Structure 1
Amino acid sequence: MSAGSDMLDISDFERIDGELRAYDEKREQVIKRSRDIQKLSKQAIFSLHRGADAEAESRIAAAKKAAEELLPLIKGNPTLRPGSYSNAIEEYAEAVAFRCYLTDGRLIKQAEVELAEVEEYLGGVLDFTGELGRLAIAQATRRDEAAVQRARDLVEAIMGQFLQFDLRNGSLRKKYDALKYTLKKLENTLYELSLTKAGLPTKPEDIPEPDAGAGGADGGDDA
């Protein structure tokens, strides 16, 4: 024991050490279970893209159950929410938003994603637009112009609402930048579909070369 140990309460530091160890154990529990929530939500999205609705429902239900199991721990230790748990809830919000669009043709409301706080809901919505873009590209290969138009209209409407927010640098800002790219891609897809419908080439290499005999600077006979 050092000479200065009699000037402090060792038991107080032992208590602090115990609390820190207990917090770390809770943190590890949240991280581990959050991975399950995120994985199940990603798998549900994949199932929805394949049209495996029953499989998707099972995975969404399992993700929700896992998230609810962690809630008492999160509420008792609010600093454990940012990071793994929050990211997992965003993924869950993305999955249920995608399901809602496929079943009801609309964007899910925040109140319908009970587990998500505001920024988690918004992050999930922005991620959902990426899945909507992928869905629309698949629909474009089947020449379903109306389906692509619906997707484009919703993405544009979502962008219009996000324009009202003052998004500072962070994950939401980065996801918003991706939203702009998704909208542009959908607009280009619709343009290409319209060209295909009119029987016009959609790629520069498909445009025929000008007729060399039609005249021009070097097209006439030498004098």
Structure 2
Amino acid sequence: MSVIDLFMELQNGLSADQDLREEIRRVVQTLEQTAREILILLHSVHHESGLNSIPEKCLKAREHFKTVRTQLAALATKFPSDQYYRYHDQWRFVLQRLVFQASFLVYLESEELVTRDAVAEILGIESDREKGFHLDIEDYLSGVLNLASELSRLAVNSVTAGDYARPLRIATFINELDFGFRLLNLKNDSLRKRYDGLKYDVKKIEEVVYDLSIRGLSKSQATPSEEKS
């Protein structure tokens, strides 16, 4: 093979890779649009009217996630399954955003932390990397860390709306989340920086709870468990 032929062959390989990346980019753009629609819907719970209609908002969000499943299924067909990490950077950020939205949705429904397997099911992808297109552990953790920031905001807005019990439950949840992350040996620089931000979320929520306490409002509303008892 001549030098010219060699470089022509290399160019063909580069062109094929660029074409594939462009196909992936187009699918990712549709995912980003759907993620924006879900975010707008879930953000509405920060308003008093939204807090009063959380079940309806969650049902609508579930419908949007059906579209996400279709879009991710299309994305998974664009490249060989064994080349997942070669193209991972192209959808990493939108996938982390979708993990956050799924975790926020589940929290609003049950006030529990969603598992990685459950998120993968919501998104219609695998949790086991050996099975192809999957939810990477670090993408899951990044999305969960974004949940903490959203809940600290919800705690403040709940007080504004006159819901004084919710911030107390959020505080308990965030403290448990913080303890869980302390058990991890985080070596990923990006993930470590995001975890550092969790400290500020914990502090912000503690300030909300303290303010409720000194104003005598922390006991003015019973939690659901207290009401049942």
Q: State the shift of 1:182 in Å.
A: 0.7
Paired residue for 1:150, among 150, 164, 169? 169
Q: Distance in 1 between matches of 2:89 and 2:4?
A: 33
Listed as ranges, the matches of 1:1-223 within 5 Å are: 8-50=2-44, 51=54, 52-74=57-79, 75=81, 77-114=83-120, 115=125, 116-168=135-187, 170-197=189-216
Q: State the shift of 1:10 in Å.
A: 3.4
Q: Distance in 2 between matches of 1:100 and 1:54?
A: 11
Q: Distance in 2 between matches of 1:103 and 1:83?
A: 31
Matched position secondary structure for 2:78:
helix
User: Rg: which structure is higher?
Assistant: 1
Matched position secondary structure for 2:183:
coil
Q: TM-score, length-normalised on structure 2?
A: 0.75
Q: Distance in 2 between matches of 1:184 and 1:128?
A: 15
Q: Distance in 2 between matches of 1:89 and 1:21?
A: 26
Matched position secondary structure for 1:154:
helix
Aligned counterpart, 1:205:
none
Aligned counterpart, 2:51:
none
What letter corresponds to residue 88 of structure 2 in structure 1?
P
Q: Which has the higher contact order (CA 8 A, sep 6+)?
A: 2
Number of residue pairs aligned between Structure 1 and Structure 2: 192
CA 1:110–1:193 in 2, change beyond 3 Å: closer, same or farther?
A: same
Q: Is the 8 Å Cα contact of residues 31 and 84 (structure 1) preserved in structure 2?
A: yes
Q: Distance in 2 between matches of 1:80 and 1:37?
A: 19
Unaligned runs of 5+ in 1: 1-6, 199-223
CA 1:182–1:39 in 2, change beyond 3 Å: closer, same or farther?
A: farther
What letter corresponds to residue 44 of structure 1 in structure 2?
I
What letter corresponds to residue 41 of structure 2 in structure 1?
S
Q: Is the 8 Å Cα contact of residues 39 and 101 (structure 2) preserved in structure 1?
A: yes
Q: Is the 8 Å Cα contact of residues 23 and 78 (structure 2) preserved in structure 1?
A: no
Unaligned runs of 5+ in 2: 45-53, 126-134, 218-229
Q: State the shift of 1:96 in Å.
A: 0.8
Q: State the shift of 1:123 in Å.
A: 0.7
